[in-house]
Structure 1
Amino acid sequence: MKRVMKHGAFALASVLACLGASHASAKDPPVASSMDSQRDIVLAVNNPIEPPAMHAGSSLIGYVPSGYYGAGQRAASELNDLKQHYSLHEVAGWPIKALGVYCVVVETPAGTDRDALLKTLAQDHRVKLAQPLQDYSVYSNLPPKDDHRYNDPYVDLQRGFVETDAALAQNLSKGEGVHIAVVDTGADLTHPDLQGRIHDTHDMVDGDARAFGRDHHGTEVAGVIAADANNHQGIVGIAPDAVLSIYKACWYAASSAGAHCNSFTLAKALAAIIDTDARIVNLSLGGPADPLLDKLLGQLLNQGRIVVAALPPNGNLGGFPDNAPGVIVVRVSATGPAPSGVLSAPGNDILTTQPGGGYDFTSGSSMAAAHVSGIVALLLAADPHLDANAVRDLLLRTSKTSNGMLQVNAAAAVASAQNAHAIAH
């Protein structure tokens, strides 16, 4: 292996210092789960990458692919100065190419008021962004029409599949080739109903492959969206021919039954999706408004992605990700009227995939959002030119009453989309 040249040694040390948390060994404690949302801060500085002059074939960190994007010398220098000046300890760092910044999570020094420190940092000309590290939660509660075209044994028990007339919709579209990014926990990649549907995975939390496959929530969401059809196994996904990418940004803490995420892990996931061709982003999670996450979400929306989010359990809008104009927000179907523009979809007692190759019932707006992401995949396979506003309007317009509740209907939506597409062409 060729060595980094001497005159790049200082830059190399700076880069590795900033990226140290990202290259932790498997024996190191999980980075994300060790962060403290009550004390930690997300700090960003500008990160213009200007490679120093070097011999042919070398780069800032030696012989690496030209696509590398890390901390430039200016960013590394400014971060080191800021950490020394304010007595900050770095927990983790990562570049966000789409925003041209380098971010770190730092601990508030003992005895220092975090809000006061944030105000001081906001006045420092070197700081591009300073905000609290915030917590987010997934919206799911674990359990305390017959269609003979399917050989999947539990299809009749799939309440959401039956109520949305998904079987009829799949006569017209199965979501062929539509790419969906699922930002969630990990998922069971070996599950018989998911093996053919999950194309790639990305762990933004700890790199623990065993924990990734044991995660419930992401496994449940993936199953609702795209479980295999006619494989003599379990259930059928709403869009069984769609392609999933799983971004693990949430994890299960030992002290909590639910999964949690934070600004750090969610930002890494959203930034990674920006560089992909995913048309749909499923966010079955939520929490407070967040400046960094809002910027990244805005970029995804500006790129024409269709972002589907779950309505918070309290029914209040205004946090991440439901506060961004253009996001499709979904609640669990109920008899009362939904907030303006919010879709209703099945979310109670939903049978779906579980880690270890099993199946069980679960509830929550997370599952409602997953149903809608699957239906959007059916729509995009029928008409790839649909945008988020057209999809929302179509789903609202074609919603039907089922069991006394007005909710999205896959068959009506897909038929309408196909008819409109045929007339237009």
Structure 2
Amino acid sequence: MALALGACASAPAGRGNAAATPAAAASMNSQRDIVLAVANPLDPPGTHAGSSLLGYAPPGHYGAGQRAVSQLDELKQRYGLREVVGWPIKALGLFCIVVEPPAGADREALLQNLAKDERVKLAQPLQDYEVYADTQQQAPHKYNDPYADLQRGFVETDAATAHETSQGGGVHVAIVDTGADVTHPDLQGRIADTHNAVDGDATAFDRDAHGTEVAGIIAAMGDNHQGIVGIAPKAVLSVYKACWYPDRNAGARCNSFTLAKALAAVLDTDARVVNLSLGGPADPLLGKLLDELLRQKRIVVAARPPDGDAKGFPDNSPGVIVVRSAAATPAPPDVVSAPGSDILTTQPHGGYDFTSGSSMAAAHVTGIVALLLSIQPDLDAASIRKLLLMDGKTANGQSQVNAALAVRALQSSLHHAGSP
């Protein structure tokens, strides 16, 4: 529902794809509000020449059909709901809205009644999510010189060796996070487009630390005589701002509405890789959108929660590549370990700093996935996970992903497959 909601952000139903009003996401209350969706059966635009193997075609206008408008109006009147924002989700054939229940209403009882209403396709609580970064471990000063040798993750994953074969060229990566500073010297030219599912403020991106950090790890420019080098410096990034900072001294947060809007937008593109360095509770609507991404063979990389409890969104799906910050303890089956402590990366306003968390570990893996897809674009998630789980050991005996080993193994398999 949260996902649908994210895809639903707009003016009241029936007004088409209107932009979300400023600060709409921040004003929502996860302890109060509900995500509600009804069927929106509009014929999608026809596929034409030039569509990719993912079935992508430039999206046409997709607003609210008359049936959806009528049903939502009836539901709001019947249950005393106040619409906050709404948006169509083309991939699921739904129109969803975030609503505020009437004062004094029992939300759980209201949700039960809505679930029994045949007009309702989805009714769930609006839920909150957070990015997985330890803001307390950032160093107190900035760097202004080339620091490739200080990039712990870049060095430990043998990325420089992998770059002899692949630098991620031709791979489109979608980052769903906070915004990212598109003017940063190490990110200029790497971020192709940005989208704001939070408040419509295009000027806010240069103040968003977490997304800037993730983008730098994945694709900071190489050989530009400044800063750092990304794991996949020739990959192309699209940044979807679904998270924001409610307090500049706290971590970034997201909710069902903003994440749904961002994921629905990603489904309208040809992005092969989706980085989700965030997480929270399981969510029906977000789960549907995630399932659709996986059905379309997108590679979804997610950060493992700090407490290790992988039972929520987006880490609870078997099709998602879940990444934890490397540790001395053995990783659970199918969970990838990558560097996530004291990682030097890009910061807003042209700076560089150290940060930690499984968010950063996931970004390293997203970069390595881009290296692999640049070599073999049709790799599926299972094959990529197998390559990532190859036994790369660090100097202290920790097991974690190794870009050079993964690239070498892929090359070897392609060579043998092509042998007579």
* TM-score, structure 2 as length reference: 0.89
Aligned to 1:285: 278
Contact persistence 2:15–2:64 (CA under 8 A) = no
Equivalent pair of 1:328/1:343 in contact (CA under 8 Å): yes
Q: What is the rounded CA distance, in whole Å, between the counterparts of 1:190 and 1:357 in structure 2? A: 8
Q: Which residue of 1 aligns with 2:28?
A: 35
Give 1:418 deviation, angstroms. Answer: 1.2
Given the superposition, is the C-alpha separation of residues 195 and 39 from structure 1 closer, same or farther in structure 2, using an over 3 Å criterion? same
**Match of 2:285, as an amino acid?**
L
Change (3 A) 1:323 1:235: same
Which SS does the other structure have where 1:247 is aligned? strand
Measure the CA separation in 2 of the matches of 1:19 and 1:375: 43
Looking at structure 2, the residues matched to 260 and 20 of structure 1 have their Cα atoms a distance apart, in angstroms, of 28
Residue 7 of structure 2 is aligned to residue 17 of structure 1: no
Q: Matched residues in 2 for 1:168 and 1:239: separation?
A: 12
Report if aligned partners of 1:19, 1:92 keep a CA contact under 8 Å in 2: no
For the pair shown, which has the larger CA radius of gyration, 1 or 2? 1
Closer/same/farther in 2, CA of residues 224 and 50 from structure 1, 3 Å limit: closer
Aligned residue in 2 for 1:95: 88
CA distance in 2, matches of 1:269, 1:323: 19
In the alignment, the residues of structure 2 paired with residue 404 and residue 93 of structure 1 have an alpha-carbon distance, to the nearest angstrom, of 51
For 1:11, the equivalent position in structure 2 comes to: none
Question: Partner of 2:318 in structure 1?
Answer: 325
Q: For 1:208-357, what aligned pairs fall within 5 Å after superposition?
A: 208-254=201-247, 257-357=250-350
Shift of 1:308: 0.4
Task: Tell me if the contact between 1:175 and 1:381 (Cα under 8 Å) persists in the aligned partners.
Answer: yes
2:194 to 179, 197, 201: 201
| Paired residue secondary structure (2:394) | strand
- Paired residue secondary structure (2:195): strand
Please name the residue that 1:114 is paired with: 107
Identity %: 69
In the alignment, which residue of structure 1 is the partner of 2:173?
Answer: 180
Instruction: Give the Cα separation in 2 of the matches to 1:232 and 1:20.
Output: 49
Q: Shift in Å at residue 66 of structure 1?
A: 8.9
Q: Tell me, what secondary structure is at the counterpart of 1:394? A: helix
Distance 1:255 1:44 in 2: 33
Give, in whole Å, the separation in 2 of the partners of 1:226 and 1:262: 26
Please tell me the residue identity of whatever aligns with 2:358.
S
Distance in 2, Cα, partners of 1:114 & 1:369: 35
CA contact (8 A) 2:246 2:252 kept: yes
User: In structure 2, do the counterparts of structure 1 residues 50 and 400 end up closer, same or farther at CA, with 3 Å as the change threshold?
Assistant: closer
**Does the 8 Å contact 2:14/2:69 carry over to 1?**
no
Instruction: Quote the offset at 1:325 in angstroms.
Output: 1.4
Instruction: Give, as a single letter, the amino acid of the residue that structure 2 aligns with 1:354.
Output: Q
Q: Which moved more, 1:391-400 or 1:32-41?
A: 391-400
Counterparts of 1:403-414 in structure 2 under 5 Å?
Answer: 403-414=396-407
Shift of 1:395: 1.0
- CA-atom RMSD, angstroms? 2.0
Question: Size of the alignment, in residue pairs?
Answer: 390
Task: Note if contact 1:252-1:259 (Cα within 8 Å) is conserved in structure 2.
Answer: yes
Counterpart of 1:409 in structure 2: which amino acid?
Answer: N
CA contact (8 A) 1:141 1:362 kept: yes
Q: Which runs of 5+ in 2 are unaligned?
A: 1-9, 45-57, 138-144
Q: Which residue of 2 aligns with 1:134?
A: 127
Q: What is residue 140 of structure 2 aligned with on the other side?
A: none
Q: Is the 8 A contact 1:294 1:321 kept in 2?
A: yes
SS in 2 for 1:17: coil
Question: How far does the alpha carbon of each residue in 1:319-367 deviate from its partner, in whole angstroms, 9 at most, with x for none?
Answer: 0001111100000000001111101000000000000000000000000
Q: Deviations over 1:118-148 (max 9, x none)?
A: 000000111000000000000001245xxxx
Superposed CA deviations along residues 287-333 of structure 1, whole A, max 9, x for unmatched, are 00000000110010011111000000101111000111110000000
- 1:371 maps to amino acid: H
Q: CA deviation at 1:49?
A: 2.3
Cα distance in 2 for partners of 1:186, 1:353 equals 13
The 8 Å contact of residues 189 and 198 in structure 1, kept in 2 or not, is answered as yes
Q: Which residue of 1 aligns with 2:4?
A: none
Q: Is the 8 A contact 1:223 1:353 kept in 2?
A: yes
Q: For the structure 1 residues 217 and 22, does the alpha-carbon distance in structure 2 shift closer, same or farther, using more than 3 Å as the test? A: farther
Residue of structure 2 equivalent to 1:7: none
User: Which 4+ runs in 1 deviate beyond 4 A?
Assistant: 19-22
**Residue identity matched to 2:387:** L
For 1:385 and 1:277, the matched residues in 2 are separated by: 13
Pick closer, same or farther for the CA change 1:186–1:406 going to 2, 3 Å: same
Contact 2:17 2:63 in 1 (8 A): no
Aligned to 2:408: 415
Q: In the TM superposition, what is the alpha-carbon distance from 1:276 to its structure 2 partner?
A: 1.1
Residue 16 of structure 1: how far off its partner (Å) = 6.0
Give the drift of 1:114: 0.5
Per the TM alignment, residue 271 of structure 1 is displaced from its structure 2 partner at its CA by: 1.0
Q: Distance in 2 between matches of 1:106 and 1:290?
A: 17
For residues 205 and 81 of structure 1, what CA distance do their matches in structure 2 show? 28
Change in Cα spacing, 1:333 to 1:95, as seen in structure 2 (3 Å) is same
TM value normalised by structure 1: 0.88
